[in-house]
């Protein structure tokens, strides 16, 4: 069985979120994307403190699709260094995980 991932990324606005979501689902790189609105991000960039309001995307996929998913996000994302983090899913409802496999063409 494939290993499953929850991939997180933050985007600056709804239009970028929609572009990523549409491309990810069209290319079957993920089964589902959750959109969390109004995330406040505090960070340092080039030595300067930053505060940004962003939209968080939670993407359910498989490890086999990660490299292509990362490349797609980078190709659309406007940031020089976007947050793209893959977190292993250790447990999940078997029927849901099977659905992820089917939707990503990994089954």
CATH number assigned to the domain comprising residue 26? 3.30.70.120
Q: What is the domain extent for residue 65? A: 4-103
Whole-number pLDDT of residue 100: 96
pLDDT value of residue 61: 98
Give the number of other Cβ atoms within 10 Å of residue 84's Cβ. 19
Tell me how far CA of residue 36 lies from CA of 40, 49, 56, 62, 84, in angstroms. 11, 23, 5, 21, 15
* E runs forming strands in 46-77: 48-62
Q: At residue 1, does pLDDT exceed 80? A: no
Please, are residues 73 and 82 in contact by the beta-carbon 8 Å criterion?
A: yes
Across 70-95, average pLDDT: 97
> pLDDT at position 2, please?
77
- Is the pLDDT score of 107 beyond 80? no
Total number of domains in the chain: 1
* Closest to 77 in 3D by CA, of 7, 21, 4, 5: 21
pLDDT digits (tens, 9 = 90+) for 21-70: 999 999 999 999 999 989 999 999 999 999 999 999 999 999 999 999 99
């Amino acid at each position: 069985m494939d290993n499953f991932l929850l991939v997180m990324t933050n985007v600056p606005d709804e239009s970028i979120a929609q572009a990523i979501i549409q491309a990810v689902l069209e290319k079957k790189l993920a089964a589902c994307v959750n959109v969390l609105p109004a995330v406040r991000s505090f960070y340092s960039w080039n030595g300067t403190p930053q505060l940004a309001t962003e939209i968080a995307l939670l993407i359910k996929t498989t490890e086999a699709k990660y490299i292509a998913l990362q490349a797609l996000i980078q190709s659309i994302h406007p940031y020089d260094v976007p947050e793209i983090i893959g977190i292993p899913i250790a447990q999940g409802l078997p029927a849901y995980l099977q659905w992820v496999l089917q939707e990503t063409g990994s089954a």
